[in-house]
Amino acid sequence: MNLEQQVGGQQIGGQQLGGPQIGGQMFNPMFHANRAPYRHVEAYEQVPDPQPPHRQDADAYWADKIAEVMRDQFGIKPKVNTYSYRTPYPPAYDLIPLPNRYKVPDFTKFSGQDNTSTMEHVNRFIIQCGAAGNRDELRVRLFSSSLSGSAFTWFISLPPNSVITWADLEKQFHKYFFSGVHEKKITDLVKLRQRNDESVESFVQRIREIKNKCYSLVLDDRQLADLAFQGLLPHIRDKYASQEFESLSHLVQRISDQDIKPFEPKRAWNKKVSFVDEAASSDSDEEPVIG
């Protein structure tokens, strides 16, 4: 039996795959309208490729399949994408030399988890920078050394070249972390009052601490001294009412605590009245009886 044998109208090994032609059309006896189809057993069974379980995982699925074929067939390992960190400021800032004999200080860290405000941290950072703080580029470059925890994570997550000047970085820092919870207002200064057992110097120090948290309040030294004077104890205000003070330091210097005694409210004066028994007094006026 040769290789050109017909099976069910088909040729195995030949070019013709259908049945005989009837009326110019290919006739397939397996699917004739008047005959039931033959039960045909194929020489091999084709197994469909498995599909990814989820549509959103299709890219990753086929990428793994391609990598597997490349590794098995050609011994080629696909290149793995590695993450390369880029600073949010221009790379040229890292090439700027620090001042001569400058030692990077151990900056006070800001984490965003404590009660330290962004304004307080920025001002402390600039002071701690010292000579390096005179250049915007060095401020930007050193600022990450003053961050920790979630604040440091925020910094390294900034897009590349999103920070060009120190103003850019400070603005983004305040915008992300500033909550305003710790900011004081002028009403907090006005309602401060000196305690009866508090010295003038201690009261003025409390004024300074509250003023330092009034980030948006602008007062000159004379205005702040007048505001502090209004919070002094009444008898101190009465004694120094005619004087003017140029600053808080001037106020403390002029008002000596040695001359000011703690304020004591006046006590109600009660006049003691002694009552004499009339009966006793009348008995004393009687003449003694001589018997």
DSSP calls for 139-199: HHHHGGGGB-HHHHHHHHTSPTT---SHHHHHHHHHHHH--STT---HHHHHT----TT--
Between CA 191 and CA 196 the distance in angstroms is 15
pLDDT given at position 187: 82
Whether residue 64 is contained in a domain is answered as no
Q: How confident is the model at residue 9 (pLDDT cuts 50, 70, 90)?
A: very low
Domain match, 101 and 161 both: yes
Domain match, 197 and 248 both: yes
Domain match, 105 and 150 both: yes
Domain match, 110 and 171 both: yes
Residue 217 has pLDDT above 60, yes or no: yes
Domain match, 168 and 191 both: no
pTM over 0.85: no
Contact 184, 214 (CB under 8 A): yes
Q: How confident is the model at residue 41 (pLDDT cuts 50, 70, 90)?
A: very low
Residue-number span of the structural domain to which 158 is assigned = 91-177
Whether residue 67 is contained in a domain is answered as no
Among 177, 196, 225, the domain boundary falls at 177
Number of structural domains the chain divides into: 2
